[in-house]
C-alpha cells in the first residue's frame, strides 16, 4: 500500500513495483500531453468540457474516461482526476469512451459487494477493466484474483489484510495488488466503502478465488456465501 504522491502526482509505477500501470493524481486543463499507453481516468473534483478525438463531452465528479494511445484531446476548464496509464496496451476498438459511473448499473460480487463498471472491453477498452467497488460494512473471506490491480480509496474507512499484517485505508489511500496475492479488503467504518480500481487483464470484478484455489461464490439474496 502507498499513501503519498510524489511531486508529479505519481502513486504507483514501476519504481514502486507496479510495472503494468502508472497510477497518479492529475489536474486536467488545456491540451493533454500525450502519454505512452492507454489512459483511464476518474474525475474527483471540478467541472469542465472535453474534446476527445473531435467529440465534445462533459466532465464532472464521477465521470469515467478512457482515451486510447495516441488519441488527441483537451480540456476546457479544470478537473482533478485519478489517472491510470496502461503500458504496452493491445490495439483498442475505439479512440475513447466517456461514462457517468453514478448512473451505471450495479453488479454483484462476493460477500454482498457490488460494483459499477467504467472503461472495459464492452466500451471498447480492451486493455483493462475500470470499476467503482461498493463495499458494505464487514469483512469478506481472504481471496485472490488472477489479474493485477491498482486501487484508490474514494470514500469510507477500511483495512487491508495481507499475510497476517494489516494497514488502515482512508480516502486517498492507494493499493497495488499483484496477481494471485491473497488479501482481504474490509470495511471497518459505519457506511459504504467506495473504491476505484483498474485491473489487467480485463474481466469481471466479481471473479475471485479462495486461498485453496476454489472459485468464490456470488452471495445469495440473504448475503450468505
Residue 39: give its domain's CATH number. 2.60.120.10
Question: Is residue 146 a part of any domain in this protein?
Answer: yes
| Higher pLDDT, residue 106 or 224 | 106
User: Per-residue pLDDT for 155 more than 80?
Assistant: yes
Clarify whether residues 114 and 165 are in a common domain: yes
Clarify whether residues 120 and 173 are in a common domain: yes
For 32, 41, 59, 124, the CA distances from 75, given in Å and listed in that order, are: 7, 13, 9, 22
Question: Is residue 65 a part of any domain in this protein?
Answer: yes
Q: Report the predicted TM-score, pTM, of the whole model to 2 decimal places.
A: 0.92
Q: Which long-range contacts (CB under 8 A, 24 or more apart) does 103-110 make?
A: 104/132, 106/134, 107/204, 107/205, 107/206, 108/206, 108/218, 108/219, 109/133, 109/205, 109/206, 109/208, 109/218, 110/140, 110/141, 110/143, 110/206, 110/208, 110/216, 110/217, 110/218, 110/219, 110/225
Clarify whether residues 78 and 108 are in a common domain: no
Clarify whether residues 109 and 97 are in a common domain: no
Clarify whether residues 71 and 133 are in a common domain: no
User: Per-residue pLDDT for 6 more than 70?
Assistant: no
Clarify whether residues 57 and 84 are in a common domain: yes
Q: What is the residue range of 78's domain?
A: 10-101
Query: How many residues are recorded in the chain?
Result: 225
d(CA 156, CA 174): 13
pLDDT tens, position by position, 181-191 = 999 999 999 99
Amino acid at each position: 500500500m502507498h499513501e503519498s504522491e510524489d511531486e508529479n502526482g505519481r502513486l504507483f509505477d514501476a519504481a514502486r513495483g507496479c510495472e503494468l500501470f502508472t497510477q497518479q493524481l492529475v489536474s486536467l486543463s488545456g491540451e493533454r500531453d500525450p502519454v505512452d499507453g492507454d489512459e483511464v481516468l476518474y474525475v474527483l473534483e471540478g467541472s469542465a468540457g472535453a474534446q476527445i478525438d473531435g467529440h465534445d463531452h462533459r466532465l464532472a465528479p464521477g465521470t469515467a474516461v478512457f482515451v486510447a494511445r495516441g488519441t488527441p484531446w483537451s480540456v476546457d476548464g479544470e478537473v482533478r482526476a485519478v489517472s491510470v496509464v496502461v503500458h504496452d496496451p493491445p490495439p483498442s476498438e475505439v479512440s475513447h469512451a466517456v461514462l457517468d459511473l453514478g448512473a451505471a448499473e450495479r453488479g454483484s460480487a462476493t460477500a454482498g459487494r457490488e460494483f459499477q463498471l467504467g472503461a472495459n472491453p464492452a466500451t471498447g477498452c480492451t486493455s483493462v477493466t475500470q470499476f467503482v467497488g461498493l463495499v458494505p460494512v464487514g469483512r469478506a473471506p481472504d481471496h485472490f484474483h488472477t489479474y493485477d490491480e491498482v486501487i484508490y480509496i474514494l470514500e469510507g474507512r477500511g483495512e487491508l489484510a495481507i499475510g497476517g499484517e494489516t494497514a488502515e485505508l482512508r480516502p486517498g489511500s492507494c493499493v497495488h495488488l499483484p496477481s494471485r496475492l491473497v488479501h482481504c479488503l474490509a470495511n471497518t467504518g459505519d457506511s459504504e466503502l467506495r473504491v476505484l480500481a483498474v485491473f489487467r487483464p480485463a474481466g469481471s470484478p466479481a471473479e475471485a478465488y479462495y486461498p485453496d484455489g476454489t472459485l468464490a461464490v456470488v452471495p445469495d439474496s440473504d448475503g450468505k456465501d
